[in-house]
Structure 1
Amino acid sequence: MLILFVCLALGILCRRYANLPDGIVPGINWWVLNIALPALVLGLVPHVTVDPHLWFPVAAMWITFFGSWALFATLGRLFHWSAQRIGCLTLVCGLGNTSFMGYPMMEALHGKAGLSVAVIADQLGCFPLLAAGGIIVASMYSGKGASGAMIAKRVLTFPPFLCLVVGVIVGVLGGWPAAVDKLLMQIGQTLTPLALFSVGLQFKLHLQKDQIGALVAGLGWKLVLAPLIALGLGLAAGVGGVILTVGVLQAAMAPMISAAILADQHGLEPRLANTVLGAGILLSLVTIPLGNLLLPA
């Protein structure tokens, strides 16, 4: 867990005190999304043991997203929130930081077995929801349109998703040669320090008085209520062990950075999005390890 805190703190300190080159954040994120994450997916997926309960971490992501949409649409009507606020909370509290923070945290807590389940939750659960559902929500609540062709193109051309498909095929065929497997994992290991450093560089916390209610509602759903619902579903379905624990913890992960960026791009209360993101990251560094202690694995 130490690397999580150190890299996050380094990012925050460098953002405040260092003379950083222009474009450093997009550059780091490009490497993480297009090189490190695909390599990690290619390295891990062939080793995933097929388990009939692997549907659960994916379902937990879908429950988190669609439950968020239903909850904040309802609260919006009750409290007369703007469409922008409803869309903002749906995005940032319905989509978790299941890769940049989820991968290193699950590896720290549950080793490569936990990391493999985290990849399934992220690539089959959270990413398709971002690429399709996130675009739809952002377009609806900002008044813009989103075509089916654009959504399909975004999903099918995303490098980690393509690598997930390749990884499944390679796993069925028997896996990579040892040298290739080692190379992929070494490249993939750059994800954790760079991703957390990038999170630190982008960290913001701007709290305004009129945002307190929305902030509490948003993080109450993302960090507490959504994972509890996912836990209830898993226990009712007989899911257990690392699959149950990682699925619940991924549902409880801090808000997704990309979701906050999407909210910003569509004018969905960017200041609130960054507030929820920053507070969620800080709180999740406490709530995730605490939740892990209370879960079965």
Structure 2
Amino acid sequence: MTGAIIAIACLFLGLTLQKVELFPAKKAAAWVQSYLIHIVLPALALLYIPAIQPSWGLLLPVSVAWFTFLLSWAVFGYLGKKNNWGKNITGCLIIVAGLANTSFLGFPVIEGLYGKEGLPIALLIDQGGSFLLVSSLSILVGSIYGDHSESLKKVPIKILKFPPFGFLVGTLLMSVFQISTPEVLISMLQLIGKTMPSMALLVIGLRFSVDLQSITSRFFWYGLGYRLLLAPAIVWLVYSQVMDKDSLEFKVTVLESGMAPMITGSIIAMQFGLQPRLATLLSGLGMPISAITLAIWYFLLG
């Protein structure tokens, strides 16, 4: 609870600093972004990924994050090309709408609605799904859509140079070969990892700006519509064929797929120059709006 209060305080700090005339808000946001990308994400990868024990039983809950991200890529990739939205808008929607806030928002919501029994399932979806995606496929999308001047031949090099991806590969190998993170590093990694929500919301605050044009933008509502309504509806339809609809696993899986857009996904989109204002609006306003849709999904799930 204390962490959530600090994180929300950082959001308001960013909003306040943005209004201070002499404060370099854009430069500060870029510095914090760099810290998140180059230090926090690799630290979290080293902290959590080696602890995942690969097994077939994990596939169904974990696969929901991958399924909804790939579906986002298919939907917005098609619509963007058909309607000539431009690569920046298309890439932003794929990444930000494709990734759900399965931890910062998801963990307390799942625990509040289903108790501590739901947390292990939420943790699997987050660490095996959302976190791996933000360190892999989101970087691929950002590399493809973020720089119009680059050829696709340069995309693999750009991905390999992106720090979280290298740590992801290394920690996945550690998980496969059951190599644990050295105990001496755990405390430091946990300390760094705890700064993620606060620093991410600070960036959102420093960049956040709301105006009528932004809120009424069709792209904003396309992104939220996909993330909060379409994605969980399709997950319900598809996963009910292979999971027990009355099980806790199914309910948590559907509800996690309907969380607001992931804050870290917005950070990745900003890092690649993919419509920063749209990215911040989707993750910033998405959280309070998702309170309504999550209540509806919870009621429908029973």
Comparing 28-37 and 63-72, the one that deviates more: 63-72
Greater mean deviation of Cα atoms: 87-96 or 206-215:
206-215
Which residue number in structure 2 is paired with residue 103 of structure 1? Answer: 103
Alignment of 1:234-249 (within 5 A): 234-238=239-243, 245=252, 249=256
| Map of 1:114 onto structure 2 | 122
- Counterpart residue number, 1:283: 289
Q: Please list, as runs of the form range in 1=range in 2, the aligned pairs for 1:214-293 lying within 5 A after superposition.
A: 214-238=219-243, 245=252, 249-250=256-257, 252-254=259-261, 256-258=265-267, 261=270, 265=273, 275-276=281-282, 278-284=284-290, 287=293, 291=297
- Structure 2 counterpart of 1:32, from 36, 40, 47: 36
Pairing 1:41–2:45 present:
yes
For the aligned residue pairs, the C-alpha RMSD in angstroms reads 3.8
Which residue identity does 1:16 align to in structure 2?
T
Give me the identity figure in percent.
20
Letter matched to residue 241 of structure 2: A
- State yes or no: 1:131 paired with 2:135: no
Q: For 2:199, which of 194, 199, 204 is the aligned residue?
A: 194
TM-score with structure 1 length normalisation? 0.74
**CA shift at 1:116, angstroms?**
4.6
Q: In 2 relative to 1, CA 260–205 (structure 1 residues): closer, same or farther, beyond 3 Å?
A: farther
Stretches of structure 2 that go unaligned for 5 or more consecutive residues are 111-117
Note the C-alpha offset of 1:94: 2.2
Partner of residue 204, structure 1 = 209
- C-alpha distance after superposition, 1:78-116 (max 9, x if no partner): xxxxx2x46455333322378895432234346566345
Matching residue's letter, 2:183: A
Give 1:165's aligned residue. 169
What amino acid maps onto 2:157 in structure 1? K
**Cα drift, residue 55 of structure 1:** 3.4
- 1:5, distance to aligned residue in structure 2 (A): 5.8
Q: Give the corresponding residue for 2:94.
A: 94
Q: Is the 8 A contact 2:97 2:226 kept in 1?
A: no
User: Number of residues paired by the alignment?
Assistant: 281
SS in 2 for 1:175: coil
Equivalent-residue separation in structure 1 for 2:95 and 2:122 (angstroms) = 20
Query: Structure 1: 5+ residue runs without aligned partners?
Result: 77-82
SS at match of 1:173: coil
The AA in structure 1 aligned to 2:136 is P
- Secondary structure at the residue paired with 2:66? helix
